[in-house]
Chains A and B, each alone.
Chain A
Amino acid sequence: EAGVTQFPSHSVIEKGQTVTLRCDPISGHDNLYWYRRVMGKEIKFLLHFVKESKQDESGMPNNRFLAERTGGTYSTLKVQPAELEDSGVYFCASSQVLGTGGYNEQFFGPGTRLTVL
């Protein structure tokens, strides 16, 4: 079974440009999460989709970030326009659905390393 995949693995862009990151979750996983790790700091939650709906976007830093998950399959995270402080590693994770209060193991992708110059 294929794991969570992310594309690209690395992206180097100039400040002010636009970048789109893609995540393909494990097939059948309704939950999809985006996280970010800025260099030297902890991994921080950005948002959570259940199928195509945004369940929790409390971690999105500002309106330069737009996440979509059309059709409830893959997801994209667009940064427009990119700023220097957006540099970091962006992780995607997916999990199955359980009942309320249950926990599902989150499977992580390898991450996309974004460098904004």
Chain B
Amino acid sequence: AQSVTQLGSHVSVSEGALVLLRCNYSSSVPPYLFWYVQYPNQGLQLLLKYTSAATLVKGINGFEAEFKKSETSFHLTKPSAHMSDAAEYFCAVSEAGRRALTFGSGTRLQVQP
């Protein structure tokens, strides 16, 4: 069975600092990989997805993620954090042919002024 590991349930950064949220997956075949964000009192919103095209994926709000097959990782980064980035971030994976998503446990990002 697939699994997704997000290192760090809480991450705190200063405004303007680099954001790095880690995600590792286990999958026997090349997966589809996603990052979702949940702002307070809202639903999950897709930030970006990897579907076997370019390994560096750019998403909304200045976020990007790099698929590294050798490390089975899909870490999320943003060069400069903004206060509005404070939210919970979820990494998810699915295998081709299966529609269900397997999620990590989430990382809550705090941005300090």
Contacts and interface: CB of A to CB of B under 8 A. Distances in A.
B73 interface: no
Contacts of B32: 103
B100 interface: yes
Interface footprint category on B? 20 to 34
Contacts of B99: 31, 33, 48, 55-56, 95, 104, 106
Contacts of B83: none
A3 B4 CA distance: 27
Contact of B104 (A42, A101, A106): A42
Contacts, number: 60
B4 to A, nearest CB: 8
A103 B97 CA distance: 8
Interface in A89-116: 91, 93, 95, 100-101, 103-111
A101 B43 contact: no
Contact of B96 (A3, A103, A108, A110): A103
Interface in B66-113: 90, 92, 94, 96-106
A4 B46 CA distance: 14
A108 B104 contact: no
A43 interface: yes
Contacts of B28: none
B100 A103 contact: no
Given A31-B99, A103-B32, A41 B43 contact: no
Interface of B: 4, 32, 36, 41-46, 49, 51, 90, 92, 94, 96-106
Given A45-B101, A101-B97, A111-B43, 6 more contacts: A31-B99, A43-B101, A43-B103, A44-B103, A104-B99, A109-B43
10 tightest Cβ-Cβ pairs between the two chains A and B: A108-B44, A110-B43, A43-B103, A45-B100, A42-B105, A108-B43, A101-B96, A42-B103, A103-B32, A109-B43
